[in-house]
Amino acid sequence: MPVSLRPARRGSPPLECQSVPVPRQPLPRAVHLWPAGGVHLWPSGGAGHSQSHERGHLVYAARGVLAVRTQQGTSVVPTNRVAWTPAAITHQHRAHGATDMRILFLSAELAGLLPSRPAVLAVSDLAREALLTLTGPRSHDPELRPKHREAQDRLLRVLVDELHLAPEQPLHLPRPVDPRLRALARLLDGDPGSNLRLSELAPRIGTSARTLSRLLAEELGVSFYEWRTQIRVYRALVLLASSHDVTYVAGACGWANPSGFIEAFTRIVGTTPGRYRHLSGAAEPTVPSTWSRR
């Protein structure tokens, strides 16, 4: 199948498959996509246009942090999570830190085993290796024998079975519908380090803390504290991927001391901020040299 390989510029849209020669040398920033999926290496701050696909797809950040924005909300995808976007859902990708994005499209049959809405799922070691293998160059070699393709189909089924059993993660930030909650979200996102109470924020929106608490419970199913913590952890992921140290990130995101930040971050993300910083920002991703010109 034809492939597309070109630099991924800041703000440039994801690219469709075209007949473009593939250079032999590794590229620091590139796109390598096939009809079934592939790799997109984003520079920090890189973003694509809003788009939708006929098939649902999985997005995994082998390095860096991805944000997947839909009308339903924003999913945050660190290196130990995968984002699922069903078919026909308009979405946009944005990279925080140099990001190695893996994308994998699913058939309608396999997509039926995953949630019918955008979601973030935990990634086991097995699922991670399957994702990396299925989006690597060998999986899309046109010279592969039929038995190898059958093996890939079985591996894809194993991956989906793993994700079918995986719990959904609190790294999908639902987009509020009520305009008062949207106004509150803008305040929190604009200053995640602020420790103003809900009773102090409510007058700025022209409502009461009691009303906002009720709306949060009815619409999002969370308390103000839980929602603000999720927003702060989202911002922390972005800052850590940009190589800021843990102490700085804790203060910038509103924690009085690093220990409280580490506890909250680990509970939501599943790893410590120090370890996450090391995994997500240790090096600039590159296209493997095995992707040679055919």
Confidence of residue 269 (pLDDT cuts 50, 70, 90): confident
CATH 1.10.10.60 in the chain, residue ranges = 176-281
75 CA to centre of own chain: 6
CATH 2.60.120.280 in the chain, residue ranges = 31-165
**pLDDT for position 81:** 87
Query: Over the stretch 61-114, which tens digit does the pLDDT of each residue have?
Result: 888 888 888 888 888 888 888 999 999 999 999 888 788 889 999 999 999 999
Q: Which CATH architecture has domain 176-281?
A: Orthogonal Bundle (1.10)
User: Global pTM?
Assistant: 0.69
Mean pLDDT of the region 242-263: 92
Q: Please give the share of the chain, as a percent, with pLDDT higher than 70.
A: 79
Q: Specify the CATH number of the domain 31-165.
A: 2.60.120.280
The secondary structure of 77-130 as a DSSP string is: E-TTEEEEE-TT--EEEEEEEEEEEEEEE--HHHHTTS-SS-EEEE--HHHHHH
Nearest to 2 by CA among 25, 34, 40: 34
Quote the CA–CA distance of 122 and 171 in Å, as a whole number: 10
β-bridge partners, 61: 101
- Which run of H or E residues covers position 63? strand 57-70
Confidence of residue 171 (pLDDT cuts 50, 70, 90): confident
Q: Please give the share of the chain, as a percent, with pLDDT higher than 90.
A: 41
**pLDDT for position 290:** 38
C-beta neighbour count of 232 within 10 angstroms: 24
**pLDDT for position 17:** 26
